[in-house]
Amino acid sequence: MTRFFVEPEMLNTQTITLSGENANHARVLRLKAGEEVLLCDGQGREALCRVTDSEMTLEVLCCRESQAEPDVQVSIYMAFPKADKLEHVIQKATELGAAEIVAFPTVRCVSRPDDKSLKKKLERWQKIAASASEQSGRGKIPQVVVLGSYKEALQRAAMANRAILLYENERATTLKMALEAAPLTTVSILSGPEGGLEEKEVEQAKEAGLHICTLGSRILRCETAPLCALSAVMYSAGEF
Amino acid sequence: MTRFFVEPEMLNTQTITLSGENANHARVLRLKAGEEVLLCDGQGREALCRVTDSEMTLEVLCCRESQAEPDVQVSIYMAFPKADKLEHVIQKATELGAAEIVAFPTVRCVSRPDDKSLKKKLERWQKIAASASEQSGRGKIPQVVVLGSYKEALQRAAMANRAILLYENERATTLKMALEAAPLTTVSILSGPEGGLEEKEVEQAKEAGLHICTLGSRILRCETAPLCALSAVMYSAGEF
């Protein structure tokens, strides 16, 4: 079924007229009278609608909670990587059901956006999340958040029901051990940049209450690790 | 520890002299006498070596099975995707521990290499697998295999201990149900191209003995689905 993201307040009416990009999209699709489409507010609510005689005007049939959102809320905390890897992770983590993607600096981060370019980049990143949400049929658009320090990232990540740091030198604790200790409601997954985290940073994470976990005996790239862990969390939480 | 891939027969000697690309790599790294390096045969055996006074000559300390290979053998069967998505999947599936990556045509495949370009492409794909193996510290280089038909892919995939087809319209059977039915030794994961598999193709897979599974209520891109499932299989098999 065709899906459009609209402003939340639009779902409160009985008749909805598409505008802007949605109208362009509807024109390309040549919607037919009687056809059903889904309008999502990007915050987890959606309206099942029927196209009226005018392809731009939709009659609301029913409003409901989105059925494509996972029960578990997973936040991906990723140290600023090089090049367009953050964009890749935003797109894939959105498909895989992440609730938010949080970027932050660490000691070994080679690249981090300056204050000047940050606003534009954030807009771009949020657009990638919106587009991946639409394509994957999600009811919510994950927020992309940028934090100013590693300390702030640790404090924020630690507030989840389960906070996990992925570390290639960890040997004893597997992700499974950390996940199976209690039911999953909110999960933070934190991982380092290309050069890895410094030992001192791992110690700080431990002190902040994060579980230090391995993803097995192979070294994953910085853009692979969070997506691998996110897949495992969704699997472990019974999503598939 | 620095790692080099060498021809399997080289591991049968007591002293090994690096040559070709490995020699260039060793020069760049400025190996020091006494330093330990790992030579891997790409088939699961490795030799721990010590650099002698000449940086190109290594003394073998011990030979052993690679410690970075998963116990479960997972084959990724992917319908030919567009553009460079197969390269992406080869790189990532190698990192995540796949035993082989098998590409094949389906009805809705938009692109598939012609016989002329296939040999060059296979060489390139195998190089990507080798390079990802090296970077991720694996002891084996996964084989990249190209099959001529969907039927052949089904027959080959069905020979695994557990053969799974990922299908976005499946609602009842989760990957977890299919994986937890018996211990995991060899697993095939088969998935479709951008446009998805035709219903008839899904029926054929069922007849061939594959389990049709969902990866949850979000639609994953054709390059995301196999990597998500591979992560879940490795997690389920106790790899992390």
Neighbour count for residue A216 (Cβ, 10 Å): 21
Q: Is the pLDDT of residue B165 over 80?
A: yes
Encode pLDDT of B11-45 as tens digits: 988 999 999 989 998 889 888 899 999 999 989 99
Residue A212: CB partners within 8 Å, gap ≥ 6? A165, A167, A170, A173, A202, A205, A206
* CA end-to-end span of chain B: 22
Q: DSSP readout, B170-230?
A: --S-BHHHHHTTS--SEEEEEE--TT---HHHHHHHHHTTPEEEB--SSPPPTTTHHHHHH
Instruction: Kindly state whether A171 is in contact with chain B, defined as any CB-CB distance less than 8 angstroms.
Output: no
Question: How far are the Cα atoms of A169, B6, B31, B132, B232 from residue B139, in angstroms, in the given order?
Answer: 18, 11, 21, 11, 21
Which of chain A's residues have a Cβ under 8 Å away from the Cβ of B92?
224
Is B51 near chain A, with CB under 8 Å? no
Contact (CB<8Å) B213/A240: yes
Q: Is B228 on the interface with A (CB under 8 A)?
A: yes
The amino acid at residue A228 is C
Of chain B, the percentage scoring pLDDT greater than 90 comes to 81
Confidence grade of residue B193 (pLDDT, cut at 50, 70, 90): very high
Q: Please tell me which of the candidates A137, A227, A232 has its beta carbon nearest to residue B219.
A: A137
CA triple B80-B83-B89, angle to 5 deg: 60
Q: What pLDDT is attached to residue A212?
A: 98
Q: Which long-range contacts (CB under 8 A, 24 or more apart) does A31-34 make?
A: A31/A2, A31/A55
Binned at pLDDT 50, 70 and 90, residue B181 comes out as: confident
Q: What is the pLDDT of residues B86-130, one digit of tens each?
A: 999 999 999 999 999 999 999 999 988 888 899 999 999 999 999
pLDDT at B187 over 90: yes
Q: What is the phi/psi pair of residue B75, to 5°?
A: -105, 130
Instruction: Give the Cα separation of B144 and B127 in Å (integer).
Output: 10
The total number of residues shown for chain B amounts to: 240
Asked if A240's CB is within 8 angstroms of B174's CB, the reply is yes
ipTM: 0.92
Mean pLDDT of chain B: 94
Nearest to B95 among A96, A175, A224 (CB): A224
Question: What is the distance between the alpha carbons of residues B16 and A34, in angstroms, rounded to a whole number?
Answer: 74
The answer, for B173 touching chain A at a CB cutoff of 8 Å, is: no
Cβ pairs A/B, distance under 8 A: 106
Instruction: Tell me the shortest Cα–Cα distance from B53 to chain A, in angstroms.
Output: 30
Whether the CB-CB separation of B102 and B147 falls below 8 Å is answered with yes
Could you read off the pLDDT tens digit of each residue along chain A, which spans 240 residues?
888 899 998 898 899 999 998 999 888 988 889 999 999 998 999 999 999 988 789 999 999 999 889 999 999 999 999 989 999 999 999 999 999 999 999 999 998 888 889 999 999 999 999 999 999 999 999 999 999 999 999 999 999 999 999 999 999 999 999 999 878 999 999 999 999 999 999 999 999 999 999 999 999 999 999 999 999 999 999 999
Q: A145 by DSSP, 3-state: which?
A: strand
Q: Give the integer Cα–Cα distance in Å for B11 and B13.
A: 6
A175 in reach of chain B (CB within 8 A): yes
Chain A residue whose CA is closest to B176: A240
Is residue A50 helix, strand or coil?
Answer: strand
What are the beta bridge partners of residue A145?
A102
**Distance (Å) from the C-alpha of residue A214 to the closest C-alpha of chain B?**
6
- Residues of chain B neighbouring A236 (CB-CB closer than 8 A): 235
Q: What's the rounded Cα separation, in Å, for the pair A105 and A5? A: 32
Please answer whether residues A224 and A218 qualify as being in contact, where contact means their C-beta atoms are separated by less than 8 angstroms: no
pTM of the model: 0.93
Q: How far is the alpha carbon of B116 from chain A, nearest alpha carbon, in Å?
A: 32
The answer to whether the CB atoms of B231 and A236 lie below 8 A apart is no
Residue B183 has pLDDT above 90, yes or no: no
Does residue B56 surpass a pLDDT of 90? no
Q: pLDDT at position A16, please?
A: 92
Pairing of strands A57-65, A15-17: antiparallel
The alpha-carbon gap from A134 to the nearest alpha carbon of chain B, in Å, equals 10
